[in-house]
Amino acid sequence: MSKEVKVWLVGAGPGSPGLLTLRARDVLSQAEVVLYDRLVNPALFTWAPETAKWIDAGKTPRGRRMEQKEIHRLLLRYAKKGKRVVRLKGGDPFVFGRGGEEAQALSQARIPFEVVPGITSGIAAPAFAGIPITQRGLSSEVTFRIGAQAEGSTTGKTLVGYMTVEGLGEFLLRAQNLGFSRTTPAGLIGSGSCHNQKTVFGTINDLAEKAKKSGVAAPAIVVVGPVVDLRRELAWWEKRPLAGKRIILTMSRSLGSGWRERLEGLGAEVWELPMSKIELVPPKRSWIPIIDRSDWLVFTSSAAVRAFPSAIGDLRKVARAKFAVVGQATAEVLRSIGFQPDWVGPGPGGEALARSWPRKASGSILHLTGSLGDGKFASLLKASGRVVRKIVIYKNSATSSVPVPVKRALNQEGADWVVFASGSAAVRFRQLFPVWRKGEPRVVVIGPATAKAARSSGWKRIVQSNEASVEGCLRTML
């Protein structure tokens, strides 16, 4: 993609990483400088290049803050240097986000910009709490306010407030003065759509008192109106089996394809922090005769299967060969590129595949693998008299870094689960996060070799999945 110098004003959504738009993700992947707000979920930072410069432009109530003029100055400064600048703002940049002021500053400086809308919390938080802010026969109009103000709304409508918890009492009092009765349903949703979402419900008369006892904290959305009572019928988020859980995936995005979607579908907040990068090895002429003479082509990882077409080039070269894979998950990936496995062995890991190799499966064997393979598959079969060769068709290299805001957030907030698909990931992740302030997360490992590496690197709360798939790990967690 050719370089396009401009500023993107991007809505990061209400907090859940899964609610980031595709356009926002695409823009982040090109960023050279990112100015981010306090309420942006740090999980989103992993979509930016590792070389991106991160600038905390957040404002905290009665705490540290970057003044708006300074934000404008930095946007103009980096844009004039020819950088791709992303202004990442919680919710939508044009809904109580001062995005209009930033757009004006850019326009006046004749700097091109693009607005990438995001989902605003005034819609998302009630939805995650089971509250439709409009409903035929109950509410045909919505008023959005910021802070404790509650002007312009009357009975038969919905009032939504973006606010601090401290201003709740005043907000409810103003709503009552405007025509809502003391018995009108009201709800407060803290950290809406995030793994730590918390809600409290009552009426205008008692919500403020209930909120004090509940522990709901900012950022929060308050909803007033008869639609609040619909949550008794429509509540859905908390019913999912992984609701409220933060899960960290450490495999490369190619290896973890489909994992995030599956886990998010069950309610989890998923952070992808790959501990490795998969790089294809350019095909070599010396591979051709080895492939031609092989009776069995063996894959002990889905990464090897995905690298296979590039390594082989003309797939007709392998028409006579049979295919063996470790586990059903790898078999599915093989089918996705047009080949049916002739044998699916147990997993995870090459050692399990070698120990269960069928006696009738004769002929020469070619193991297509990655740079970190331990060689046990080949050594075990060679010991039994088999002819086994190996070709490294992809490199598994360490991720160079994790964005500082991500490390800071995990240290402060913690996580519930971390998934390791390799021993190297367990070791690398431990080096990045040796101490957890809120208690160490539980660890799911794939296979005994990964479990051993995890224990040796200091992880203690370990459970082992005997299947190298998202479904196997789900069963282990649940």
Sequence-ordered alpha helix ranges (H) in 109-195: 121-128, 168-177
Question: Residues 62, 68, 70, 71: is their CA dihedral positive or negative?
Answer: positive
What is the distance between the alpha carbons of residues 266 and 237, in angstroms, rounded to a whole number?
9
Find, among 239, 191, 242, the residue nearest to 214 by Cα.
191
Query: H or E element: which one contains 302?
Result: helix 302-312
What is the distance between the alpha carbons of residues 248 and 16, in angstroms, rounded to a whole number?
14
Residue positions annotated with a catalytic role:
37, 59, 163
What is the distance between the alpha carbons of residues 354 and 342, in angstroms, rounded to a whole number?
15
Q: Cβ atoms within 10 A of the Cβ of 279, count?
A: 14
Cβ burial 241-274 (10 Å sphere, 16+ → b, else e): ebbbbbbbbbbbeebbeebbebbbeebbbbbbbb
Cβ contact 44:223 at 8 Å:
no
Residue 438 Cα distances to 409, 441, 454, angstroms: 11, 9, 20
